Amino acid sequence: MMPHSGHTEESPSMNSASADRFSRQTRYAPFGVKGQKALESAHLIVMGAGALGSHLAEQLVRMGVGKLTIVDMDIVEISNLHRQALYDEADALEMRPKVYALADKLRQINSEVEIQPLYQEITPTNIERLLTDVTPDMLLDGMDHFAIRFLFNEVCHKLGLPWVYGAAVGGKGTIYAIDYTGPCLRCLMSEAPETAESCAINSVIPPVILQVVSYQIAEVMRYLAGTGFSGKLLTVDPFNMKQQSMDVSRMKNPDCPVCGGQAAYELLGVAEPKWVEGSCGDTYVFRFKSQHFDNADLFPGHILKTNPYVKLLDIDGRSATLFKDGRMNVHGIEDAETAEALYQHLLKAMK
């Protein structure tokens, strides 16, 4: 320790700029320089760049994570701005993919962090390949629909990857960090709870997002500092000033299909996405081939707005967003039959 350095409590192996930048968190003894060094050499992956994902990414980059990969398939919309970090009105106007808008802003916050934005969908058939390519040290859940967490639970178990589940719907949030020493998500629930249903027509308030993210980051800090995950399932309800912390360590299910020794993965590698799928309310997702993006002028209707990643179309008075990978979100569809008929109609027009 150099007696006249002015940073006497810092480790000599941290350079002084880094030590100064992160001194407020390294002086917190339970995290310390040890935790900071672990964070600086860690590669984390954030799944989703919506409300949870954008805040997780911002905080981890501010704290000095070594490398961060962010995966998302959406563009920034005005209705995102009330709760999602770092995006602005220009991003929404330009229909920028969230991962690219986010990566630009994160680089301005901390240029030392290696940021890897992946503009793509996460599916049961691509997730294992994605994670074996990226090789992260930990996965952070920033998704807004519940079912995909069971997929994370399977793939992370298979790859031995610790992950932190976080969910926010309406006024409530849930956090649980899983390293498979205790119960996994499937041990705790065999199917998505009613209250965990989530979609664009559901409400969510910013304080829930911030609280869920706080606890997810705290679990990351605990893990990296060597304390380990808390083993607590936490439910937060900030509007009513309530929260509940439940010790679930004894709830490991010996017959759990995922972590009970059979490693029977029911979702992983199985379900291909459907051609026509109901999303939220009157929105349906259609899947075309990726080359249809370049031939979008063949669709009946007209193109209102375009950029290299996405085209906004008007199809018989319905608004549709066509993505580079051939996905199309169509709004204003009354029922599944109408959706199927419209899909076939569009498909015919492309031939």
Q: Pick from 256, 328, 330, 333: which binds Zn ion (CB under 5 A)?
A: 256
Work out how close the CB of 185 gets to Zn ion at its nearest, in angstroms, rounded to a whole number.
7
- Which residue, 208, 216, 211, 206, is CA-closest to 176? 216
Q: Pick from 68, 187, 213, 224: which binds Zn ion (CB under 5 A)?
A: 187
Q: Pick from 102, 106, 233, 259: which binds Zn ion (CB under 5 A)?
A: 259
CB 322 within 8 A of CB 309: no
DSSP string over 290-336: GGGGTTGGGSSSEEEEE-SSEEEEEETTEEEEEETTSEEEE----SH
Segment lying near Zn ion (by CB under 5 A), choices 48-56, 190-198, 251-259, 322-330: 251-259
Q: Pick from 63, 224, 233, 258: which binds Zn ion (CB under 5 A)?
A: 258
CB contact burial 183-219 (16+ within 10 A = b; e otherwise): bbbbbbeeebeeebebebeeebbebbbbbbbbbbbbb
The residue ranges of DSSP E strands in 29-77, in sequence order, are 43-47, 67-72
| Whole-angstrom distance, CA of residue 271 vs CA of residue 260 | 23
Segment lying near Zn ion (by CB under 5 A), choices 227-235, 253-261, 285-293, 319-327: 253-261
| Whole-angstrom distance, CA of residue 325 vs CA of residue 318 | 21
Work out how close the CB of 173 gets to Zn ion at its nearest, in angstroms, rounded to a whole number.
22
Segment lying near Zn ion (by CB under 5 A), choices 71-79, 183-191, 223-231, 315-323: 183-191
186 binds Zn ion (CB under 5 A): yes
- Give 21 or 186: the residue with its C-beta nearer to Zn ion: 186
Work out how close the CB of 17 gets to Zn ion at its nearest, in angstroms, rounded to a whole number.
44
49 binds Zn ion (CB under 5 A): no
Token code pair at residue 25: 């968190």
Work out how close the CB of 177 gets to Zn ion at its nearest, in angstroms, rounded to a whole number.
14
Q: Pick from 42, 51, 161, 184: which binds Zn ion (CB under 5 A)?
A: 184
Work out how close the CB of 153 gets to Zn ion at its nearest, in angstroms, rounded to a whole number.
8
| Whole-angstrom distance, CA of residue 233 vs CA of residue 48 | 21
Q: Which residues contact 241 (CB under 8 A, 6 or more apart)?
A: none
Return the residue nearest Zn ion (CB atom).
256
Residues that bind Zn ion (CB under 5 A): 184, 186-187, 256, 258-259
